[in-house]
Structures are given as C-alpha cells and as structure tokens.
Amino acid sequence: MRLLILSPEFPPGPGGIGTHAYQLARYLCERGWAVTVVTAQDYAPNSEIADFNARQPFQIIRLARLRGVPIRVLYRAGVFWRQIRRLKPDVILAANERAVWAVAALKGRIPAVAVGHGTEFGLTGLQAWLNRWAYARLDHIVCVSQFTWDMMIRQGIAPRRGSIIPNGADEAHFKVIDGAPVQEFRARHGLDQARLLLTVGHVTERKGQQVVIRALPQILKEVPDVHYLVAGLPALKQKYSALAESLGVADRVHFLGRVAHDELPVLMNACDVFIMTSCILR
C-alpha cells in the first residue's frame, strides 16, 4: 500500500500535528506500507533535521520556507502535484486544512483521508467556505475527539464517511523514570524541593499558559513552593513574562523554550501536575 502524507509540520521540531503524522508514518511503515511524507520542517537546526530524516525508514520530502502566502501556496501545490504524479499513491492523507484544500483540488480519483485536530474547524469567512468545499470532497475524515467532530459538524461540513480515533501516546518513549535524570533536571534548575506544574506546547493564547499564570497567585496561597514550567516555542514569552511580573509571580514562571523529544520524558517525570487548558479562541 502506497501512502502519501501531507503535513504542515514534522519532527524533529515540535508540534502536535507533526507528531501525529510522524507516528502514523512510522507505524504504518512497520506494517509494510510504502510511506512518503511531504512536509515543512521548521524550528530545528538543519543538521538535526538532516540526521533525523536519514534515520527514518520512509522518505521525507522537505518543503522550503518561502515568504508570501501566494508564492508559498503555489509552490506547495506544485510539490504536491509532482509527488502525486510520481508516486501514484493508493491513499493520500492530509494532516491539516491547507493540505486538505490542496488534496481536494489535486487528488483526482485517488482516495483521500483528512485528520481533524480541532483548530481548522474554527475558521470563518472564506476559509470556512473552503473547508466545507474541500472536506466534502475527501473520502474519509478522522477526528481526534468527539469535541472535534462536533466542531466540524457545526461548521457545516458533512463528511462522506468519518471516524473518531482519539490520540494515543508512545508508551515506549513516555514511561516512568526513577532516580538520577529527574533529580539532575530539578537540581539544574534550582527546583530540588519545589512542587512543579508543567505545560508543554507552543506558547500561545490557544494553548492557555496565560490561564495558569493568572491562577498562580491563588495557587501559591495553598501551595507556597509551587513553580510553573512552560516548555515550547516561546512565541508569546515576552507578553506572558510581563503578565507574570504584573501579578508578582515572575520568579515562579520558567520558560524552557523548545525541549528536545528525547528530553520530554524526564521533564514530565519531574513535574507534579501536567496542565493543558487549550483555550478555544473565537
């Protein structure tokens, strides 16, 4: 079975959609599928990306970073079209709405599947119209939760066929770690005896780190030794640092930036409570 995956992001850089696409590629490849991934790979050094790609059992075609929406759209559509013609896949999988738009326009008679993660079903205006047109042309839509499925229906998308398949986790990677690595992490950050809260995700309003920061003054009244670790691309670090300063909790909020995939299990074992508020923006 030949599978072509189109994704807006992919490891080794961070991103939930990219991680989801990677795990699909990895496990389907192990089951004998011939997998090719066309994707952007940002937020990681080129040397790290090259090393990661060389270790994969499937082909990764990396999209160039181009400025300007019209140029980028035309370039990516051209790459998708060439790979569809070259590979003649049995199935195409689109990992976000822009990939779905391209697949809907270019797939011809090839069966195509979309994965709905949530944000794409909150679009408005022309983008919402494009969603209704494109998703209706695909053969199957997989949503990662009932909530996401309900968002899709409310946007007026009527899938030909669909499924709800909740996200899983890699139990071989995310497991209990005892002893030295966890203590070393805590000691390195001067948090040996602290109670740790943790959020892992792009530092944006949608991921909700600001909700936790606003709650910290009240939390500190109950748990005086608490600290909040924020791991992820620090897009709004300056804004949220100012918020923490205004609330008098700046010394309790620690922006760790991008954390490598191999380091995440240590970080998660070191924390006492993991928090992901994931705000829905209107």
Q: What is the phi/psi pair of residue 147, to 5°?
A: -60, -45
Of the segments 12-16, 203-207, 227-231, which one has the largest average pLDDT value?
Answer: 227-231
Using the CB atoms, write b or e for 26-44: b if 16+ within 10 Å. Answer: eebbeeebebbbbbbbbbb
Q: Which amino acid is at 214?
A: R
Give per-residue burial for 72-99: e unless 16+ CB within 10 Å, then b: beeebeebbeebbeebebebbbbbbbbb
Distances in Å between the Cα of 135 and the Cα atoms of 11, 150, 152, 183 are 26, 15, 10, 48
Q: Supply the mean pLDDT for the chain.
A: 93
Which position has the token pair 């191999």? 262
pLDDT of 79-135, one tens digit each?
999 999 999 999 999 999 999 999 999 999 999 999 999 889 999 999 999 999 999
Contact partners, residue 75, CB within 8 Å, separation at least 6: 63, 64, 66
Residues linked to residue 2 through DSSP beta bridges, in sequence order: 34
Q: Mind listing the pLDDT tens digit for each residue in 238-261?
A: 999 999 999 999 999 999 999 988
Q: Provide the H-helix boundaries in 171-263.
A: 180-188, 209-222, 237-246
The answer to whether residues 91 and 66 touch, using CB atoms and an 8 Å cutoff, is no
pLDDT in tens, 147-174: 999 999 999 998 999 999 999 888 888 9
Q: Of 133, 131, 129, 135, nearest to 159 (Cα)?
A: 135
Q: What is the mean pLDDT of residues 6-25?
A: 94
- List, in order of start, the domains of the chain with CATH numbers: 2-164 (3.40.50.2000), 180-274 (3.40.50.2000)
Backbone angles phi, psi at 44, to 5 degrees: -150, 150
Distance (Å, whole) CA 222 – CA 216: 10
Ranking 35-39, 70-74, 139-143, 251-255 by mean pLDDT, the lowest is 70-74
Q: Taking the model in full, what pTM does it have?
A: 0.87
Answer with the residue of higher pLDDT: 243 or 69: 243
